[in-house]
Amino acid sequence: MDFNVIDKFTPKGDQQQAIDLLSESLKNANRFQTLLGITGSGKTYSVAKIIEQIQRPALILSHNKTLAAQLYREFRDFFPDNAVEYFVSYYDYYQPEAYVPSKDLYIEKDSSINEEIERLRLAATASLLDRKDVIIIATVSAIYGLGSPEDYRDLTLFLKKGLVIERKELIRRLIDIQYERKDTDFAVASFRVRGDVIDIHPAYAKYVIRIEFFGDEIESLKRLEAISGQKLEDLERTLIYPAKHFVTKKE
């Protein structure tokens, strides 16, 4: 899908000239550009119009989470039909290990992870692998590595109607990519087994994938609403991405 800005605004003053010049320069492979004289939402709008003109995926880096969240909301408003994703540190709280010599006190490392931000991070990764029209809003922490992109991609499960795979083999592969089996306490990044039916709640999504078997063949694939279980759509095929960024192949 093409990038398409949905807005009721028109560029003012020299804004259109700046958008055109920067877009043309980027198309000519001039990687480093500077935009001066525009602040706040005006800068967001200008960058959105540049993305629309050059039709390339974009990584927007912010120096802190607060500004990143604001940019995320603004770009989602400008690009409602494209994949605008949010990728920031998932720690609500992080205390590194430390030692206080004056008190002979050792402080253990402690942390608290925000599960919703972790879901958004995984959704960003899934969009990058699945789509071309992607804008990632991130903080500078995004520059740090997350393991092997090749392993992450290679371990992704491809499922389709008519695929022949033993149920226990599918369960094993789900466990290999960090999904937990929770037949009673079903939650994000887990799966449950009920007879010939396997439900998977992808770590990056707000929906559930239901797989119905007939023997060793996948008879149907459905996308369900996570809370009510209501069917959203029938699927011919789907991808299940790993539940964690750090995954490795056995060999």
> What is the percentage of the chain residues whose pLDDT exceeds 70?
97
Q: Are strands 217-225 and 231-235 parallel, antiparallel or unpaired?
A: antiparallel
Q: Examine the fold and report which residue of 93, 118, 144 is the final residue of a domain before the chain moves on.
A: 144
Are 167 and 195 in the same domain?
A: yes
pLDDT value at residue 60: 95
Query: 3-state class of 60 per DSSP?
Result: strand
Domain presence at residue 73: no
Of 53-57, 101-105, 111-115, 138-142, give the lowest mean pLDDT range: 111-115
Backbone angles phi and psi of 121, in degrees to 5? -65, -45
> What is the percentage of the chain residues whose pLDDT exceeds 90?
66
Domain presence at residue 72: no
Are 124 and 159 in the same domain?
A: no
Domain presence at residue 226: yes
The pair of three-digit structure tokens given for residue 86, joined into one six-digit string: 């949010």
Are 159 and 231 in the same domain?
A: yes
Are 134 and 165 in the same domain?
A: no
What's the structural domain count of the chain? Answer: 3
Are 49 and 101 in the same domain?
A: no
Cβ partners under 8 Å of residue 230, min gap 6 = 224
Domain presence at residue 208: yes
Domain presence at residue 8: yes
Are 37 and 120 in the same domain?
A: no
Backbone angles phi and psi of 42, in degrees to 5? -65, -35
Of 35-49, 69-83, 230-244, give the lowest mean pLDDT range: 35-49
Distance in Å from the first CA to the final CA of the chain: 37
8 Å CB contact between 178 and 243: yes
pTM: 0.84
Are 113 and 126 in the same domain?
A: yes
**pLDDT confidence of 198, banded at 50, 70, 90?**
very high
Q: Does 72 score more than 90 pLDDT?
A: yes
Domain presence at residue 6: yes
Domain presence at residue 247: no
Domain presence at residue 1: yes
Are 169 and 222 in the same domain?
A: yes
Q: Does 110 score more than 80 pLDDT?
A: no
More confident residue, 116 or 41: 116
Are 154 and 140 in the same domain?
A: no
DSSP secondary structure code for residue 174 in this structure: H
**pLDDT confidence of 108, banded at 50, 70, 90?**
confident
Q: Are strands 190-194 and 207-214 parallel, antiparallel or unpaired?
A: unpaired
Q: Where in the sequence is the domain holding 187, given as residue range(s)?
A: 149-240
Cβ partners under 8 Å of residue 198, min gap 6 = 167, 170, 171, 191, 192, 210, 211, 213
Backbone angles phi and psi of 233, in degrees to 5? -170, 155
**Torsional sign, CA 158, 159, 160, 166:** positive
Are 157 and 223 in the same domain?
A: yes
What angle is formed at CA 208 by the lines to CA 203 and CA 213, rounded to 5 degrees? 115
Residue appearing with tokens 């008190």: 103
The whole-number average pLDDT for the span 139-155 is: 86
Are 41 and 20 in the same domain?
A: yes
8 Å CB contact between 212 and 220: yes
Q: Does 41 score more than 90 pLDDT?
A: no
pLDDT value at residue 103: 80
